[in-house]
Structure 1
Amino acid sequence: MKRDILSVADMQNDLEDIIDLSIKLKKDRTIKFSEKKILGMIFEKPSTRTRISLEAAMEQLNGHAIYLSPKDMHLGDGETIADTARVMSRFLDVISYRAFDYKNVRELAKYSTVPVLNALDNREHPMQIVADFMTIMEKKHRLEGLKMAYIGDGNNMANSLLIGAAITGMDISVACPEHHDPDQDLLYRARDIALKTGSRIEIVRDPRTAVDSSDIVYTDVWVSMGEESEREKKEKAFKNFQVNEDLVDFADRNYIFMHCLPARRGLEVTDGVIDGIHSVVFDEAENRLYSEKGVIYTVLS
C-alpha cells in the first residue's frame, strides 16, 4: 500500500525513526536504491532549497528528478487534478507537490497510485519539519522535554511545528498577534497528540513570554508567498515580533536560532541574530537534503 506524507501528522508513528534514518543517510552516502527511482516535482511556487535538495537527494539515492512547473502541465487547467495524478502515476515512482492550496495536494494524492509528498502548501510544510527536528537532534541530542519558541505569523510553518513538537514531546510556545493564530484545526490536532506525549503547547501574545528559557528560537517570514498584497498591513501588525538581540536575551544561554529561509533580514530577524553564534540556519538548510532522502527512502522502501 502506498504511503503519502501530506501532513506532519502522517509521520506521527515514525517521525523520530525518519530523523534517525536521515542522520544515517547523512553519514553514509553509499546507501542507495538498488534500481533507479524517478521523482516528479510539481512546483506552483518558487523554490531554492526544496528544488535543489530534492534533485540532489534523488541523484544521491540512485534516482532522478523531473521538474514540472504549471506552465509545463495542464494541471487543473484543461485537465483535472485527478486525471493528472492517474497519468503521472504511470510514469513515476513518487511525486512531490508544492502548491498554493492544500486541497489540491490532497486531491492529487487521492488519485495517485504512487506516494505523494507535500513540499509545502498554505497549511503545512512537513518536509521542512523533518529537517528542523533532525537539526535539533544533532545540536541538542534529544527532542523530548526541550522548549521551542516560535515568533511570528501563525502560518504553515507554525502549524507544522506545533504538530512536530507534539509528536516528539517537545514543548512549544507560539507568540503571534491577535488574528494571526495558527490554524485552529491543526492546533486542536497538535493538542490531542500532546495529551499522549506530554508536550506543552501554548499560544501567547508576548514574544518575551514565549522565548523565556527556550532552547530553540524559531521564526519565519511575516508575508508568505501569495500574500504580497497584505505586506504593509502584516508588517505593521508584526512590528513588535522581530527576533532581535534584546529578545533572545530571554532564551536559554545555549539556545539555537532557526529559520526555514529565505529570511527577510531587518524584518522578522536582525542580522545580529541570524549571523550570530547561536544561529544554525545553514545547517538546517543543508539538512533539507538528508531529511528528504530519509522521507523518500521511507515511502519507497
Structure 2
Amino acid sequence: MNQLLSIEELSAKDLERLLDSAEYLKRQRGRDGQTLAGQTWALIFTKSSTRTRVSFEVGIRELGGFPMFLSGNDIQLGRGEPIKDTARVLGRMVHGAIIRTFAQQDVVDFAEFSGIPTINALTDDEHPCQILADLLTIREKLGTWEGKKVAFIGDGFSNMTISWMWAAKRLGFELAVASPVSCQPPADFLAKLDAANVTITTDPAAAAKGADVVNTDVWLSMGQEGQKEKELEFAGFQVNSELLAHAAPGHIVLHCLPAYRGKEISEEVLELHAGTIFQQAENRLHAQKAVLVAIARKS
C-alpha cells in the first residue's frame, strides 16, 4: 500500500489489515517506534478541519515524523497554480502528502504527478480515513461488523455515504441508506457498486429497523451551507429517540462530527451516545497512524 485515495480501491484484506494495525497502535500508544523518523509530511488543506488536522499532526509526530501544515492560502494553489505543478514541486521536497480538499481528481492528480505517498483526508467524493475510524469503533463496541446492519440517515450521496457503500461492498455487512429522493445515489453509481447488501430508501424508520449501528452526518456538506432549500428536504431525517426505537437492542450511534444538534441528531441522542461518538473521533488518530505505517513499510 503506497497511497490511500478511496475506500473503493481497497480490498477486504486491506481494510482488515489496517484495522488490525490500528487496534495494535492504539494499545501501544506511547511505544510506537519511529516509523516516520526523518520524514516530513505536508498537510495540504483547502477545507477547514479540527479532527483531521489534529489527528494527523499528532499521529505523524508520534511516529517520529514532522508535519508541515499548508492551507490553501499558504501556497500558490490559492492563486491558481495547477495541482500538478504544486505536486511536482512538493514531490521533490517532502516524503508524503495528506490532502483535504473539494475535488477527488485533485488528490488523484497530486498522487500521479508528485510520485510520493498521498492520503485522501476528505474530498467531495470520499472520506476514507473517517470510515476506517468508524469501522474500528464498530469492532470495539460490537466485536464485529459481520452479520450486522448499519443504517445511514441523511445525505445518500455524500462523501460519507459513498465510502460507506464501498465498505459494505468489500466487507459484506448490510447497509441501509435513508435520504430524500434528490440526495440518493444515481443509477449509474449503484450499477457500478453492484452490491445487493446495500439498500436505498426514503424511509428512515425502515432503514433503522433492526440496525445495530445508526449513523448520521451533517445534512449540508462543507461548501453547501447556504442551500436552505436542500436542508428543508431533510425534515423527518433526524436521528432521535423515536427513530432509535426501531433499532436493534444494544445498538450504537455514530456521528463523524461536527454535529448540528437539533438538526441531523437530537441533543438527547448525541449526549446519550457521546461516549461512542467521541471514541469514534479519537479513533481517527489510530486509524490514520495505521495508514501511515502501512505506507511507510511499503515505500
TM-score when normalising by structure 1: 0.93
Deviations 1:2-51 (A, max 9, x none): 72211112222410110110010000121323533221001111100000
Asked if 2 retains the 8 angstrom alpha-carbon contact of 1:218 and 1:259, the reply is yes
- 2:8 counterpart letter in structure 1: A
Q: Percent identity?
A: 40
Aligned mate of 2:173, from 149, 170, 185: 170
Q: CA deviation at 1:137?
A: 0.6
Q: CA deviation at 1:187?
A: 3.5
**Cα pair distance change 1:273/1:293, threshold 3 Å:** same
Asked if 1 retains the 8 angstrom alpha-carbon contact of 2:72 and 2:78, the reply is no
Distance 1:139 1:36 in 2: 36
Distance 2:154 2:80 in 1: 38
Q: Which residue of 2 aligns with 1:3?
A: 2
**Cα pair distance change 1:163/1:228, threshold 3 Å:** same
Q: Please list every run of at least 4 consecutive aligned residues from structure 1 whose deviation after the TM superposition is greater than 6 angstroms.
A: none
Asked if 1 retains the 8 angstrom alpha-carbon contact of 2:47 and 2:102, the reply is yes
Matches within 5 A, 1:1-301: 3-12=2-11, 13-29=13-29, 30-34=31-35, 35-75=37-77, 77-154=79-156, 155-182=158-185, 184=187, 186-191=189-194, 194=195, 200-230=197-227, 232-277=228-273, 280-301=276-297
SS, match of residue 200 in structure 2: strand
Structure 2: segments with no counterpart, 5+ residues: none
Q: How many residues align?
A: 293
Asked if 2 retains the 8 angstrom alpha-carbon contact of 1:163 and 1:186, the reply is no
- 2:118 counterpart letter in structure 1: V
SS, match of residue 51 in structure 1: helix
SS, match of residue 75 in structure 1: helix
**Cα pair distance change 1:141/1:189, threshold 3 Å:** farther
Distance 2:167 2:209 in 1: 20
Deviations 1:202-260 (A, max 9, x none): 00110000000000000000011111221x21221001101110000000110000000
Distance 1:65 1:185 in 2: 39
Asked if 1 retains the 8 angstrom alpha-carbon contact of 2:253 and 2:273, the reply is no
Deviations 1:159-205 (A, max 9, x none): 111111221111100000111013655544433xx4xxxx6110011
Q: What is the alpha-carbon root mean square deviation over aligned residues?
A: 1.6
Distance 2:262 2:83 in 1: 40
Asked if 1 retains the 8 angstrom alpha-carbon contact of 2:208 and 2:244, the reply is yes
Bigger mean CA deviation after superposition, 104-113 or 249-258: 104-113
Structure 1: segments with no counterpart, 5+ residues: none
